[in-house]
Amino acid sequence: MKGKSIPITLNRIEAFSDGVIAIIITLMVFQIKIPSIDATANTDAIWDKVYPMLQPLIAYLLSFVMIGVLWVNHHQFIRQLKHADRTLLWHNLHLLFWMSIIPIPTNLLGQNFHRPEITALYGFAMFMCAFAFLLMREYVNKNHHLFIDGLSVELRKKQRRKLMGSVTLYFISIFGGYISVYISIAIFVLIPAIYFMPTNIIVNEKHEQ
């Protein structure tokens, strides 16, 4: 009927998103340059070549963990839905777009973590990922029929608060690096740490009976 959204199954959304995220991680690891080491090189020469890889590897690990957090929360979010609609598809693509940008500031951070311009760029990319996720969740919050029956309102509020906290902290990280890059880096480490505390799907008791 005109003006009524057509329900869309979630399987293709999740499969497409998983594929895009896998490609993003692959692109990040490909940006780490592997040095050529001569078979006759001594220990000092080997470490001289390996040491420059440490900073890019740390940047990769940081982004890998954050992408992992986004993936886990995206999976949990999809599990909370009965179906999707056309608008939600665009929200999901918006999130994936900003996630696909992550390899660029990750590569720059791996080369120049001490520059506030670079931490600002990295913070902006992560801010937009968190903000896009927030927009998607807010859309579903305003369209309750998309949620599974009996999903706890308390849980939805808790997840929203955590996401709002991430958005706020990433916004601060954009400018915090101009005071000290370590403020921004501390935020980049803190946010994934917060998400290591799992939140299970809770349903209202009246729907469990």
Query: If residue 166 lies in a helix (H) or strand (E), which one and from where to where?
Result: helix 153-176
Write the pLDDT tens digit of every residue in 131-146: 999 999 999 888 877 8
Mean of pLDDT over the chain: 86
DSSP structural state of residue 198? -
Average pLDDT over residues 117-121: 96
pTM exceeds 0.75 for this model: yes
Contacts of residue 62, defined as CB under 8 A and 6 or more positions apart, other chains included, come to: 106, 109, 188, 189, 192
Q: Give pLDDT, residue 2.
A: 44
Residue 85, both tokens: 């609609």
Give residue 204's pLDDT.
Answer: 46
Measure the CA angle with vertex 182, ends 46 and 162; round to 5°. 115
Distance CA 149, CA 78 (A): 14
pLDDT surpassing 90 at residue 41: no
Cα angle, residue 140 at apex, residues 20 and 123 outer, rounded to 5°: 50
Distance separating alpha carbons of residues 192 and 112, to the nearest angstrom: 21
Least confident of 118-122, 134-138, 164-168, 204-208: 204-208
